[in-house]
Amino acid sequence: MYTPPNMTTETGTAYKSAIDAALASLTGIWGKRRNINGDGLVNQLVSATALSTSFAYTIDMWEAKASVGTVTGNVGQVAATSFPADVAIGSSAISSSTTGTLSFRTKIESRNCADLLAAPFIYGSTGWASGSSQHPYVSLSMLVLHQFGATITVTPVLRSADAQDNFSTMTNSISFAAQNVATGTLTQLVWDTAALAQALDSLTNAANGLCLELQFSVPTGLSAKSLLFGDVQLEGGQVATFYGRSLFVDELVRCQRYFAKTFPYAVAPAQNAAHPLNAMGAPQIVAATTSQVGNPTWKFPVEMIAAPAVTGFNPNAANANPRNVTRANDASSPVLSSDTQAARLTFTTSSGSSVGDQNFIHLTADARL
């Protein structure tokens, strides 16, 4: 971690030496944080997710799984005043009847990491120039706090997508060194310098997209114990810097490139969740029991990485149909289509309805990697 010189406690040659060392350590640093939602501040899913032995999304940009079924708990966003964002990622109630591993992972699309493979630019006697003889490195830092009652290890693994932005298979990986975290103490972990940073050009297919997986060891005999982490930052160069925090709205927009919803931010996507006026509105333009094609359209908050899978939710009943709020009954046969910019709805209008009635349906758009 970069440490600036201190002119209060260092004088003369010691101060100059500290400046020289600090400047040398910054060689090749660029780009800042490449992962999204590293502090866990954005949580459009709202509700926590029960752990399973398969990866599942639990908060924006983060998936989690347990290596064995004997490690259990709900994971997601946790209120945590000891963390800078006042929230963290993880769980306040992990239980275990055997040892295991709890893994969290986040993915970085190719557009956000391909330049990390370029030869770093360094400052020399002739000014800025490409350091073609140097490897393109990545550094990592994060905060961890747990109450497991014993020291655990954290092992980060960096994987690459076999095909561009398609993480269904990830054949290649490189591992950072495992580090220990004592129980009950908020700990900053750093993987930087030549000793701990990783040379990205040693990871085959890194330009296709990166998946950062954090593996936490879990001891046996836990009963509702907490594991929290945050301020995860993967960045270019051999020097880890403090977390590059964004405004909440900026980070939300970044997350909405992969997942968006019509529900209010604090409402979990679900059928019969009310809030019809927040849903996509469909003014009726045809007679009753007639197909209304391609109207209306939901314009996404930001262009998505790919055409998303779109799911419908009735705001006032336990089904996926549009709700005719004028007649207090349901339309039927919804068909949803999408491209990277918008979703469209075709449906059959309800019995007894007429032109001018108001129909509403909540939607989610899922293009997560």
pLDDT (tens digit per residue) in 311-347: 999 999 999 999 999 999 999 999 999 999 999 999 9
Asked if omega into 296 is within 30° of 0 (cis), the reply is yes
Query: Contact, 206 vs 112, CB < 8 A?
Result: no
Query: Contact, 27 vs 123, CB < 8 A?
Result: yes
CA distance 181 to 176: 15
pLDDT (tens digit per residue) in 244-260: 999 999 999 999 999 99
Band the pLDDT of 275: cuts 50, 70, 90: confident
The DSSP H or E segment spanning 7 is none
Any idea where the domains of the chain sit in the sequence? Answer: 12-255, 276-366
- Identify the CA nearest to 40 among candidates 7, 74, 83, 73: 83
The DSSP H or E segment spanning 21 is helix 12-25
Contacts of 247 by beta carbon, 8 Å cutoff, 6+ apart: none
pLDDT (tens digit per residue) in 198-220: 999 999 999 999 999 999 999 99
In this predicted structure, the answer to whether residue 29 has a pLDDT above a threshold of 50 is: no
For the segment 73-100, the average pLDDT, to the nearest whole number, is 97
- Identify the CA nearest to 315 among candidates 254, 262, 251, 258: 262
**Secondary structure (3-state) at 83:** coil
Mean pLDDT of the chain: 90
- Could you name the CATH architecture of 12-255? Sandwich (2.60)
In this predicted structure, the answer to whether residue 277 has a pLDDT above a threshold of 50 is: yes
- What is the dihedral angle through the alpha carbons of 132, 29, 90, 109, rounded to the nearest 10 degrees? -50
Query: Contact, 355 vs 285, CB < 8 A?
Result: yes
pLDDT (tens digit per residue) in 257-273: 999 999 999 999 999 99
According to the model, what pLDDT value does residue 296 have?
A: 81
Which pTM value belongs to this model? 0.88
DSSP of 92-128, one letter per residue? EEEEESS-EEEEEEEEE-GGGTGGGGSPPEEEETTEE
Band the pLDDT of 24: cuts 50, 70, 90: low
The DSSP H or E segment spanning 306 is none
For the segment 6-16, the average pLDDT, to the nearest whole number, is 60
CA distance 181 to 213: 17
For the segment 92-105, the average pLDDT, to the nearest whole number, is 98
According to the model, what pLDDT value does residue 27 have?
A: 47
For the segment 237-242, the average pLDDT, to the nearest whole number, is 86
